[in-house]
Amino acid sequence: MRLQQRFMLYTCLIVCISIFVGFICSNLIYNAFVKEQLNDRYLVIAEQLSKQIKEHEITLQASSDFLQTMSDLGYQIALVKEDGEMRMFGEPFKTTQWNDQMHALFEGGKAYNGIKSFKNSYLIMSHFANDIENTVGTKIEIEGEEWGLFLRPNNISLFTEFHLIIFGFIFAVFISSIIGILLMSRKVTQSLSELTSATQEMANHNFQYPLMINRKDEIGQLADSFRMMQRKLENTDQARKKFVNNVSHDFQSPLLNIRGYSELLDGELSSSEGKKYNHIIQTEAKRLSNLTKQLLILTSIDQGTYPTNKQLVRIDDQLHQVVHSMLWRIEEKGLEIKIDLQPVTVYADRTLLINVWENLIGNAIKYNKEYGEISIHCEENTSEAVVKIRDTGIGIEEETLEKIFERFYRVDQARNKEGMGLGLSIVQEVLSYHDASIEVESNAEGTTFTTFFPKE
């Protein structure tokens, strides 16, 4: 789950929990304080109505008209005789069943406090129960007969225009808060996404990636610290590349001297043992020379100092050239080679591209099985040029596939082979230099490297 989604989820959970806690607290306040106050207030109104009817000694019909007028002002009223005769004014009660306290009103009870004692539900919603038990009552005499006058506020009248305005205000505040939180979380996560992108670019050795975060809060401080780290890593990387470049360059001259004098020494040595040791010196000097050349190529591309010489290059011709130069190695291992090369032209550096094919085809030979097979396919379409080099070799384990392009990394099966683990690093760097890409698929039956060159 993304951070913004999680932030919104937590916010909604907090809002819901807050509403629940507020609901519980309002219930406690209602039952502890408000309920009794409402009961006493409406009981005073019922007693005043009873007093007005008694003082004016009005008839039952006049009393009914008077109570109907009061119901229009927002009350539910019921006149009830002890024998069960009932007259309702205003909205009728949904439940009209009597309880013992209401009967006690006719047996000398002073008042009925039904709002205070109503316990159909502990929640505050019991206040809105349309039940005759949820009323206050007093005894009244009309035309010589005893009636019970029961009264409560009309639920419908509670939702007046003012209450609708209050409800609209609360709803608008809630929606505005959600929108505000959404925008705020988006702003925060946008900055974090910028930091994530910058981190990924740094992992790809791009230390020039601009971090566009200018804030004065903790995220701004984090961005400033990140930029400082970016500059220090860039300086360190440049110093490392410069050191490798200088050392590799300085190694070339003595290595060439060692190889030259060793080849001259071959003619002077007569014993087979001496020639054997001299051959080892030549082989190791050649390995070191190739290593320094590879390091020079890598550091030149990294530093952007490699002399650019891009031109139109026929990839199929280059592949034929590399295969022909390595034919003796292919025959020595008894490999079968299948070539399907269509004419493909790309705009690239000829020398760098040769390094790519030498490394990929060289690996296909080096790590192949005896009497195995190498397949080279080359084609192009309207959007890209594709080169596939497949072998029937030892394969690469899935957990090591992501590491094979790292510098100096070699899989376990390759430790007894020649090389320093720089070949595939050079391949990836050269392809990136040409805005191209490479994919690898491997299993127990072999490995396939596929390169993609965009057609511009």
Give a yes or no: residue 194 inside a domain: no
pLDDT tens-digit profile of 37-76? 889 999 999 989 888 888 887 888 888 889 998 888 889 9
More confident residue, 311 or 238: 311
- pLDDT of 295 above 60: yes
Closest C-alpha to 145, from 65, 63, 88: 63
Domain identity same for 20 and 151? yes
Domain identity same for 286 and 397? no
Please identify, among 291, 320, 335, the residue that sits at the C-terminal boundary of a domain: 291
Give a yes or no: residue 64 inside a domain: yes
3-state secondary structure (DSSP) of residue 329: helix
Closest C-alpha to 128, from 79, 94, 88: 94
When computed from its CA atoms, the radius of gyration of the chain, rounded to whole angstroms, is: 46
Give a yes or no: residue 195 inside a domain: no
Give a yes or no: residue 174 inside a domain: no
Helix (H) or strand (E) holding 376: strand 373-380
Give a yes or no: residue 300 inside a domain: no
Domain identity same for 245 and 147? no
Domain identity same for 122 and 32? yes
Helix (H) or strand (E) holding 195: helix 161-203
- Degrees, nearest 5: CA angle 244-245-251: 85
First vs last C-alpha separation in the chain = 38
- pLDDT of 161 above 90: no
Residue 138 amino acid letter: T
pTM: 0.47
What burial class does residue 67 get, using C-beta atoms within 10 Å of its C-beta: 0-12 exposed, 13-18 middle, 19+ buried?
buried
Domain identity same for 251 and 141? no
Domain identity same for 18 and 61? yes
What is the pLDDT at residue 414? 43
Q: How far apart are CA 417 and CA 363, in angstroms?
A: 10
What is the pLDDT at residue 163? 61
Q: Are strands 384-391 and 345-349 parallel, antiparallel or unpaired?
A: unpaired
Q: How far apart are CA 125 and CA 120, in angstroms?
A: 10
What is the pLDDT at residue 416? 45
pLDDT tens-digit profile of 337-354? 999 999 999 999 888 898
Give a yes or no: residue 46 inside a domain: yes
Please identify, among 115, 142, 158, the residue that sits at the C-terminal boundary of a domain: 158
What is the domain count for the chain? 3
pLDDT tens-digit profile of 98-137? 888 888 888 877 889 988 888 765 567 777 788 888 899 9
Could you tell me where the beta strands, DSSP code E, fall in 170-260? none
Domain identity same for 237 and 281? yes
For residues 408 and 422, the answer to whether their CB atoms sit within 8 Å is yes
Give a yes or no: residue 190 inside a domain: no
- pLDDT of 245 above 80: no
For residues 359 and 424, the answer to whether their CB atoms sit within 8 Å is yes
Measured over all CA atoms, what is the biggest interatomic distance in the chain, rounded to whole angstroms? 150
For residue 140, the enclosing domain spans 3-158
